[in-house]
Amino acid sequence: IFSYRQASADLYREAGFEHAEYLPLAADVQQRRPGEASAEEQRLYNEPVTFVGASMVQDAQLYTAEFCRLYVEFAGGGREAALECQRRLELINADQRQDFSRYVVGELLRLHFAAFLEHTAAARPYLDLEMLVAQAAASEKRIAYVAALAPLGVKVWGDPGWQLAARAGARYSGRMARHRDELNLIYQCSTINLDV
Handedness of CA 67, 69, 70, 76 (dihedral sign): positive
Coarse DSSP helix, strand, coil percentages of the chain, rounded to the nearest 5 percent: 55, 10, 35
* Global confidence as pTM: 0.80
SS3 46: coil
Q: Span 33-60, mean pLDDT?
A: 91
pLDDT digits (tens, 9 = 90+) for 104-134: 999 999 999 999 999 999 999 889 999 999 9
**Type of residue numbered 130:** E
- pLDDT at residue 75 in the model: 96
Beta bridge partners of 51: 156, 194
